[in-house]
A = this chain, B = another copy of it.
Amino acid sequence: MRKITTQDLEAIAIGSTVLGTGGGGDPYIGKLMAQNAIEQFGEVPLLDPEEVPDDTLIVPVAAFGAPVILLEKLFNGKEALAAFEMMEKYLGEKIFATMPAEAGGLNGVIPFAVAAEKNIPIIDADGMGRAYPRLEMVTFTLYDIPASPITQADEKGNRSIYHTINNVWGETMVGSTVIPMGGSCFIACYPMSGKQMKEAAVRNVISKAQKLGLAIGEAKQKGISPLNNLLSAGDGKLIFKGKIIDVNVQTDGRWNKGICRLEGLEGYAGQQMQLDFQNEFLIATSGEKVIASVPDLITVLDLETAEPLTIESLQYGYRLNVIAMPCDEKWKSKAGIALGGPSAFGYDSPYVPI
């Protein structure tokens, strides 16, 4: 156990954006909310999964919606807590700890606000080790943990509880109501025991986010390459350097979908890369060749500073490093690739680990 401070959240927010693979929502407002909650209610204990007793109740919390809407639509700051407390009341059992469902972007930091205000620990784990656009795309699904009951809260005061027949239906129900809600809401989901969490979660992903965030920051202080420092911290690989020549985003109320095209720079001059995304980057191709794909992580960084960028901030002319990092081993099983690999998004190329 260690205590997470407001300072720790600076690096965690940056690292969560790296793990967010272009999605997960911009963490800026969420970071401020979490820092504010820590200042008001105290530092948040971060538990290693092994420190969590088996017979405890664990409930992840998350923002839900298209990242571009999460960026633009204000939330009142109490929705995640409302969803969490509705779950606690509905289950009639004290929740021992929370955790991110996805440690990417906004969703990597929001659980800290809830943990601080509820005075409970947060577990150093999530259900992805990255960000994914659909509710059922978590390692919990691979271990047959139901998403239900799912509690949902919006900024207006609407609240729902869903018991769905499977986790895909959880996505369907929350994804249907998020649209009239204005495109974003907050949920608590996948209530599970400490024992289930230890089996099914991706471990130590908050520590990993912090390590990635620190790698970028420290490199600047030391005057070394932030890109190389980050790649080294995350077992990552540089797959392209280029300038955006086209970015096409369509938001249907539930997802940002589109493509981003890059023209190579420096050692990649004369080459092109296409990045397809649905909230998160899904596949990076150069001509016919797949360079990287889900479940591995594809992230874009500013060419100079190596700061990670979210998809909704991308614009023509931006100069980027494109990096890929290996996914958690749980995604490399046959079931994992079926749930979160290229075919889950309609691509017929096989998953080839980077």
Contacts and interface: CB of A to CB of B under 8 A. Distances in A.
A334 interface: no
A68 B217 CA distance: 61
A176 B183 CA distance: 13
Contacts of A159: 162-164
A74 interface: no
Contacts of A161: 160-161
Interface in A126-178: 156-165, 169, 172-173, 176-177
Contacts of A157: 165
B158 A169 contact: yes
Copies of this chain, complex-wide, total 2
A223 interface: no
A287 interface: no
Contact of A176 (B156, B163, B165, B176): B176
A231 B160 CA distance: 45
Contacts of A32: none
A160 B158 contact: no
Contact of A160 (B156, B160, B179, B180): B160
A156 B172 CA distance: 13
- By secondary structure, the A interface counts as mixed
A158 B164 CA distance: 4
A164 B185 CA distance: 14
A161 B158 CA distance: 11
A85 to B, nearest CB: 13
A172 to B, nearest CB: 5
B158 A165 contact: yes
Nearest to A153: B163
Contacts of A172: 180
Contacts of A176: 176-177, 179-180
Contacts of A158: 162-165, 169, 173
A206 to B, nearest CB: 32
A165 B76 CA distance: 15
Contacts of A179: 176
Nearest to A160: B162
Contacts of A160: 160-163, 173
Contacts of A164: 158-159
A156 B158 CA distance: 25
A90 to B, nearest CB: 8
Interface in A265-284: none
A202 to B, nearest CB: 28
A226 to B, nearest CB: 44
A110 to B, nearest CB: 22
A177 B158 CA distance: 15
Contacts of A163: 158-160
A156 B162 contact: no
Contacts of A156: 165, 169
User: 6 closest A-B pairs (Cβ-Cβ)?
Assistant: A159-B163, A161-B161, A157-B165, A176-B176, A172-B180, A160-B162
Interface of A: 156-165, 169, 172-173, 176-177, 179-180
16 contacts: A157-B165, A158-B163, A158-B164, A159-B162, A159-B163, A159-B164, A160-B161, A160-B173, A161-B161, A172-B180, A173-B177, A173-B180, A176-B176, A176-B177, A176-B179, A176-B180
